[in-house]
Amino acid sequence: MLHPVVLSGGSGTRLWPLSRQNQPKQFLTLIGERSLYQETVLRASRLPGVQAPITVCSQLHRFMVGEQLQAVAMGNGGIVLEPVARNTAPAIALAAMQALRSDPDATLLVMPADHLIEDEAAFRDAVGRALSLAEQAWLVAFGITPDYAETGYGYIRQGDALGADGYRIDRFVEKPDLETAQEYLDAGGYAWNSGMFLFSAQGYLDELARHAPAIVGAVERAWGKASSDLDFIRIDETAFAASPSDSIDYAVMEKTDRAAVVPVSCGWSDIGSWSSLWSVAEHDADGNRQEGDVISVDTTGSLVKASERRLIATIGVEDLIIIDTPDATLVARKDRVQDVKLVVDRLKAAGRSEHLFHRKVYRPWGSYDSIGVGERFQVKRIVVKPGAALSLQKHRHRAEHWVVVSGTAEVTCGERVFDLNENESTFIPLGSVHRLRNRGTEPVELIEVQSGSYLGEDDIVRLEDVYGRS
């Protein structure tokens, strides 16, 4: 049976400031109404005879994966948490082991979580061809038929035809310079390496064992100590960290003699930069894409995105990328957006946090947003999901005032447990053991005013936590 495997990797830097380390590109709603991750699992779910998707993600993103799956009412074939990043070869090995638990004949359709595919029918057709090759024990890479000389992708050179379904892979080639990319385009027989694959789970592990035995060894040891934690599959960190870090391309596809490519032209994009998002998004007649509250005068060829409660006005500019978020705004020339990584590097070097988190932070129980900060106080807007609860906790350096502005919260403070309704408030003295819970069916929203000498997130002693964080 066919098991979609969604690889949720990536460091979240190329679409900064919208993407952050704890909320990378695949979880953002960039085009349409769902995230790229959601679109990826939904696209896979519409394939014939397909199983629930297996997701391999960083443990940093586990709650986001769980919620986004739930939000599109998707079944869950397992959310495997990588304790550390070890590139795609070990990640796919984990997914193979998960699929084989229930299905010894499992076939894997491996898809990065952050790609866009506009022509789903063409994609589905390519999956059909890849399946027929996989039945003949080929390890299939999906190759995107190039329509211009792109220098940002690796290429796959086709070899002999394998019937009408695809080709042997002659060789993989690194990202070319422009001249070479043009030669590939003119010559034909080259495809972009999309990072999507289809093969037998056992066949992949066998080839991995042959060409990269250290990876299989480490992943097997890590998997042997796997444990379930809520919806998540945790694997052993020490064992997994011992695996070499390598891509499936280097570790398997370039080495096996069973490598095939299925060419496809399906409106694919990896949305690897703001300029590539601009390219795939719809524009107005002036070549602009505007999201949110934007006023433009004589502006052309630009992507302008305003954040909530903020207006962006542009005058006389062209080919700009303007991305506004509550704590950071990027203004870049469209052909220079790859240098956003230089900005992220500077943030890292300065020990800052704008590349790690948004001002609004998602938690398994809901979210908080730091809307005001002063000398000895901080104001947070907190949303608690129906049925959710914050940990039972206390703080050493701060007291808190809570004002409920929507819904009914159940508050624990010391020995007391009581309901706090809309337009009611309470005080949590410094050092008091407390908890906030939403037993209702609507979100609880409250304003928290923290007061104290130290207001860092790390001033928290968790005594009990339903999400396994204590």
Cα dihedral 32, 33, 37, 39 sign: negative
The backbone torsions φ and ψ at residue 40, rounded to the nearest 5 degrees and listed phi first, read -65, -45
- Contact residue for a second copy among 309, 351, 415, 457 (CB under 8 A): 309
Quote the CA–CA distance of 158 and 264 in Å, as a whole number.
Answer: 13
State whether residue 417 is helix, strand or coil: strand
- Contact residue for a second copy among 346, 396, 416, 469 (CB under 8 A): 346
- Contact residue for a second copy among 111, 140, 196, 332 (CB under 8 A): 332
Q: Does 300 bind a second copy (CB under 8 A)?
A: no
- Number of residues near a second copy (by CB under 8 A): 57
| Cβ–Cβ < 8 Å for 251, 102 | no
Beta strand segments in 139-271, E: 139-144, 155-162, 166-173, 190-200, 227-229, 232-234, 259-264, 268-269
One character per residue 15-34, x = contact with a second copy (rule: CB under 8 A) = --x-----------------
Q: How many C-beta atoms surround the C-beta of residue 381 within 10 A?
A: 16
Quote the CA–CA distance of 87 and 190 in Å, as a whole number.
Answer: 25
Both tokens of residue 433? 């053991």
Quote the CA–CA distance of 321 and 311 in Å, as a whole number.
Answer: 15
Q: Does 356 bind a second copy (CB under 8 A)?
A: no
Which of 210, 333 has the CB closer to a second copy? 333
- Contact region with a second copy (CB under 8 A), list: 171-179, 218-226, 336-344, 456-464: 336-344
- Contact region with a second copy (CB under 8 A), list: 7-15, 128-136, 140-148, 339-347: 339-347
- Contact region with a second copy (CB under 8 A), list: 1-9, 98-106, 143-151, 327-335: 327-335
| Cβ–Cβ < 8 Å for 6, 55 | yes
Q: Could you tell me which residues come within 8 angstroms of residue 73 by beta carbon, excluding any fewer than 6 positions away?
A: none
Q: Does 342 bind a second copy (CB under 8 A)?
A: yes
Quote the CA–CA distance of 206 and 258 in Å, as a whole number.
Answer: 12
- Contact residue for a second copy among 26, 314, 391, 412 (CB under 8 A): 314
Work out how close the CB of 403 gets to a second copy at its nearest, in angstroms, rounded to a whole number. 4
- Contact residue for a second copy among 91, 215, 266, 337 (CB under 8 A): 337
Q: How far apart are the first and last CA of the chain?
A: 39
Beta strand segments in 407-454, E: 409-413, 416-420, 425-428, 434-437, 444-452
Question: What DSSP character marks residue 337?
Answer: G
One character per residue 384-423, x = contact with a second copy (rule: CB under 8 A) = ---------------x-x-x-xx---------------xx
Quote the CA–CA distance of 83 and 233 in Å, as a whole number.
Answer: 11
Quote the CA–CA distance of 325 and 301 in Å, as a whole number.
Answer: 21
Q: Does 100 bind a second copy (CB under 8 A)?
A: no
Q: Could you tell me which residues come within 8 angstroms of residue 374 by beta carbon, excluding any fewer than 6 positions away?
A: none
Q: Could you tell me which residues come within 8 angstroms of residue 107 by beta carbon, excluding any fewer than 6 positions away?
A: 1, 2, 3, 131, 134, 198, 199, 200, 201
Which of 185, 403 has the CB closer to a second copy? 403
- Contact residue for a second copy among 178, 230, 311, 463 (CB under 8 A): 311
Q: Could you tell me which residues come within 8 angstroms of residue 279 by beta carbon, excluding any fewer than 6 positions away?
A: 269
- Contact residue for a second copy among 64, 116, 134, 320 (CB under 8 A): 320
- State which of positions 421-460 bind a second copy (CB under 8 A): 422-423, 425, 427, 445, 447, 449, 451
- Contact region with a second copy (CB under 8 A), list: 34-42, 96-104, 137-145, 304-312: 304-312
- Contact residue for a second copy among 343, 356, 433, 466 (CB under 8 A): 343
Q: Does 349 bind a second copy (CB under 8 A)?
A: no
Work out how close the CB of 334 gets to a second copy at its nearest, in angstroms, rounded to a whole number. 9
- State which of positions 46-65 bind a second copy (CB under 8 A): none
Which of 159, 301 has the CB closer to a second copy? 301
Work out how close the CB of 354 gets to a second copy at its nearest, in angstroms, rounded to a whole number. 6
State whether residue 429 is helix, strand or coil: coil
Residue ranges that bind a second copy, judged by CB under 8 A: 17, 295, 297-298, 309-317, 320, 322, 324, 326-333, 335-337, 339-340, 342-343, 346-347, 354, 369, 371-377, 379, 381, 399, 401, 403, 405-406, 422-423, 425, 427, 445, 447, 449, 451
